[in-house]
């Protein structure tokens, strides 16, 4: 790289790292200035946290368990632990360790006559989760012992950690970025396997890596453009117009993909709603009980047994869903039936997917009527799956009956028997595929991140599109560079290189204590 381009690149990198500006809600600054940020955070943050304190908290889930974890972080971690911990074989050698290691030993607690066995996991350098000296004490998960140990650690010089304070320190020390910090909380609160995998992917840097690469390329592109401005009167070209357009187009494509994700991402913990609907005595409640794996809905041969809706959480493959049984669709004859139909309409209107149950025992005329009723009950464009129920019974035959208008549809419908289990596995597989493939699947961007980043992604995309148009119309490198800088600032905000104290307070106050 020519010397001038190197100087320009480093200047842009430093400018991107050190840039800051005042917002009405707080002071924004770069994550690369983590040391200075930590020193200022106590004075500026409404959380009033001193990030140089030594903190402690129970890091394992509440309640009795075979194993419990106490986490400690801060400059006085070793001194605090030394007051209550004794190594089983190495004496005080753990305090001289230069590398992370596990040390078996015991704890001496004032309220217990017998020493408590524990394993000390000690990180003696800044290459820990929090970027500080850090330790974890792994011992029995008895609640009284964990509470007594946390209290004794506080008596030895630490204080109880606030919500998300360990992860906040990891962020401010540069160990993780803001997208990864948000993913930590989502890993803890994941509602199902799919949501957990998405959170782990974001925590592992799936999005961060691409945005960091994009940020680096934008810095280099701005450097090439502005280096050319220094030689505008000379025939020196640092980058061709075609290459400028190509690189801007690639950047816009990535940002557009993430922006689209942020607009459609499902809320964290959201359970997709599957509603069973159909005429009375269509086998909805029997199928509901089969899919739920429990006898939750009352089943009789009397039409209209289900008056109110019944709902439960169920597992569909790796997905948690909300399964809802509704009253049969029919003309109401009294106030009770009117309310039942209103409940059914409310549930089907809010459904992600509707299972329309049709009995195999219907005559051709009844099937035509059922088809018309289904069209009346469902909203335009609503996703549904027609299921032929009661397939364990003999199908009625009547040669005099005309061929039904929907015979082809019936031939392609899934046939199930909730009593015998016929077709249930295929039904569950089909439902899972429909939820994943028809707009209900979660995207790679977590809900909390999408809400925070949505506007920044929109502005970054707009800036890149403006820069691309300026490059295509050859409106000048100055205009292109200005728009690229605007996009770069938005990327810095997404990654947390620029942030406000109010933003950090909002994000980390949603964490649980000990994380």
* Least confident window among 2-6, 172-176, 309-313, 386-390: 2-6
Give the count of beta carbons closer than 10 Å to the beta carbon of residue 394: 8
* 360 plus 224 within the same structural domain: no
* 433 plus 451 within the same structural domain: no
* 303 plus 428 within the same structural domain: yes
CA-nearest of 53, 203, 136 to 514 is 136
β-pairing, 414-415 vs 68-73, is unpaired
Band of residue 146 on the pLDDT scale cut at 50, 70, 90 = very high
Question: Nearest 5°: CA angle at 251, between 248 and 254?
Answer: 150
Give the count of beta carbons closer than 10 Å to the beta carbon of residue 409: 13
- Distant-in-sequence contacts of 28-33, Cβ < 8 A, 24+ apart: 28/498, 28/499, 28/500, 29/498, 29/499, 30/492, 30/497, 30/498, 31/171, 31/172, 31/174, 31/177, 31/495, 31/496, 31/497, 31/499, 32/174, 32/497
Average pLDDT over residues 445-464: 84
Alpha carbon 253 to chain centroid, angstroms: 22
Backbone angles phi, psi at 39, to 5 degrees: -65, -30
CA distances from 479 to 110, 211, 233, 467 (A): 70, 23, 18, 7
Specify the pLDDT at position 29: 36
CA distance 84 to 88: 13
In the chain, the percentage of residues whose pLDDT exceeds 70 is 76
CATH assignment at residue 72:
3.30.1360.120
Backbone angles phi, psi at 234, to 5 degrees: -115, 160
In a domain, 255, yes or no: no
In a domain, 116, yes or no: yes
**Domains of the chain: total:** 3
CA distances from 31 to 16, 25, 161, 410, 502 (A): 10, 18, 22, 61, 15
* 44 plus 60 within the same structural domain: no
Signed CA dihedral, 16, 17, 18, 21: sign only: positive
pLDDT in tens, 72-127: 999 999 999 999 999 988 788 899 889 999 999 999 998 888 899 999 999 999 99
CA-nearest of 322, 317, 276, 316 to 299 is 276
* 217 plus 308 within the same structural domain: no
Band of residue 407 on the pLDDT scale cut at 50, 70, 90 = very low
* Least confident window among 36-50, 156-170, 203-217, 290-304: 36-50
pLDDT in tens, 183-223: 888 888 777 677 788 888 888 888 888 899 999 999 988 88
> Does 296 or 52 have the greater pLDDT score?
52
Specify the pLDDT at position 62: 83
In a domain, 259, yes or no: no
CA distance 149 to 160: 12
Signed CA dihedral, 142, 146, 149, 155: sign only: negative
391, 414, 437 — which closes off a domain? 437
Q: Which of 26-40, 237-251, 257-271 has the highest mean pLDDT?
A: 237-251
Is pLDDT at 165 greater than 90 in this prediction?
yes
Is pLDDT at 466 greater than 90 in this prediction?
yes
Specify the pLDDT at position 118: 94
Band of residue 347 on the pLDDT scale cut at 50, 70, 90 = confident
In a domain, 256, yes or no: no
* 189 plus 156 within the same structural domain: no
135, 161, 187 — which closes off a domain? 161
Specify the pLDDT at position 76: 94
* 312 plus 376 within the same structural domain: yes
Band of residue 335 on the pLDDT scale cut at 50, 70, 90 = low
CATH assignment at residue 201:
1.20.120.430
CA distances from 511 to 184, 189, 203, 338 (A): 9, 9, 15, 45
pLDDT in tens, 25-82: 333 333 333 444 444 443 344 345 677 899 999 999 888 888 999 999 999 999 999 9
In a domain, 263, yes or no: no
* 334 plus 372 within the same structural domain: yes
161, 192, 216 — which closes off a domain? 161
Specify the pLDDT at position 396: 61
CATH assignment at residue 338:
3.40.50.300
In a domain, 265, yes or no: no
* 13 plus 72 within the same structural domain: no
Average pLDDT over residues 330-350: 68
Backbone angles phi, psi at 425, to 5 degrees: -60, -45
Provide the CB-side half-sphere exposure for 285 (13 A, CA): 21
Can you give the residue range of the structural domain that contains 490?
1-48+174-248+447-515
Is pLDDT at 166 greater than 90 in this prediction?
yes
In a domain, 264, yes or no: no
Is pLDDT at 128 greater than 90 in this prediction?
yes
In a domain, 257, yes or no: no
* 479 plus 359 within the same structural domain: no
* 303 plus 389 within the same structural domain: yes
Average pLDDT, the chain: 78
* 21 plus 88 within the same structural domain: no
- Predicted TM-score (pTM) of the model is 0.64
């Amino acid at each position: 790289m020519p010397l001038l381009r190197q100087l320009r690149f480093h200047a842009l990198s430093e400018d991107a790292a050190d840039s800051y500006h005042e917002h009405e809600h707080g002071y924004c600054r770069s994550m690369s200035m983590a040391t200075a940020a930590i020193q200022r955070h106590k004075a500026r943050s409404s959380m009033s946290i001193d990030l140089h304190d030594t903190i402690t908290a129970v890091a394992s889930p509440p309640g009795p368990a075979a194993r419990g974890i106490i986490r400690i972080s801060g400059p006085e971690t070793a001194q605090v632990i030394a007051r209550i911990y004794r190594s089983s074989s190495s004496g005080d050698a753990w305090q001289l360790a230069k590398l992370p290691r596990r040390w078996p030993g015991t704890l001496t607690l004032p309220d217990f006559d017998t020493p408590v066995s524990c394993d000390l996991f000690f990180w003696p350098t800044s290459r820990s989760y929090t970027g500080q000296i850090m330790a974890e004490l792994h011992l029995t998960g008895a609640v009284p012992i964990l509470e007594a140990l946390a209290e004794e650690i506080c008596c030895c010089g630490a204080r109880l950690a606030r919500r998300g304070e360990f992860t906040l320190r990891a962020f401010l020390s540069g160990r993780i970025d803001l997208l990864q910090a948000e993913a930590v909380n989502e890993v803890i609160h994941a509602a199902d396997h799919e949501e957990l995998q998405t959170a782990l992917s974001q925590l592992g840097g799936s999005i961060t890596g691409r945005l960091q690469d994009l940020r680096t390329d934008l810095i280099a592109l701005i450097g090439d453009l502005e280096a050319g401005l220094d030689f505008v009167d000379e025939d020196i070209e640092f980058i061709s117009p075609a290459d400028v357009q190509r690189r801007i187009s690639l950047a816009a494509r990535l940002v557009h993909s993430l922006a689209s994700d942020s607009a459609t991402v499902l809320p964290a913990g959201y359970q997709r709603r599957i509603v069973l609907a159909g005429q009375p005595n269509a086998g909805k409640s029997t199928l509901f009980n089969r899919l739920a794996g429990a006898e939750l809905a009352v089943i009789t041969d009397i039409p209209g047994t289900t008056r109110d809706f019944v709902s439960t959480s169920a597992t569909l493959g790796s997905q948690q869903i909300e399964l809802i049984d509704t009253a049969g669709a029919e003309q109401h004859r009294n106030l009770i039936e009117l309310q039942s139909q209103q409940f059914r309409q409310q549930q089907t209107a809010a459904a992600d997917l509707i299972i329309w149950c049709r009995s195999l025992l219907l005559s051709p005329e009844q099937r035509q009527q059922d088809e018309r009723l289904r069209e009346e009950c469902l909203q335009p464009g609503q996703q549904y799956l027609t299921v032929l129920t009661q397939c364990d019974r003999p199908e009625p035959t009547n040669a005099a009956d005309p061929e039904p208008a929907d015979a082809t549809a019936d031939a392609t419908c899934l046939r199930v028997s909730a009593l015998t289990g016929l077709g249930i596995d295929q039904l569950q597989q089909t439902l899972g595929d429909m939820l994943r493939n028809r707009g209900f699947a979660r995207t790679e961007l977590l809900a909390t991140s999408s809400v925070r980043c949505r506007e920044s992604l929109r502005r970054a995309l707009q800036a890149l599109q403006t820069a691309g148009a300026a490059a295509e119309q050859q409106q000048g490198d100055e205009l292109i560079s200005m728009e690229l800088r605007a996009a770069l600032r938005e990327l810095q905000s997404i990654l947390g290189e620029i942030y406000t104290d109010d933003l950090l307070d909002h994000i980390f106050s949603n964490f649980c204590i000990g994380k």
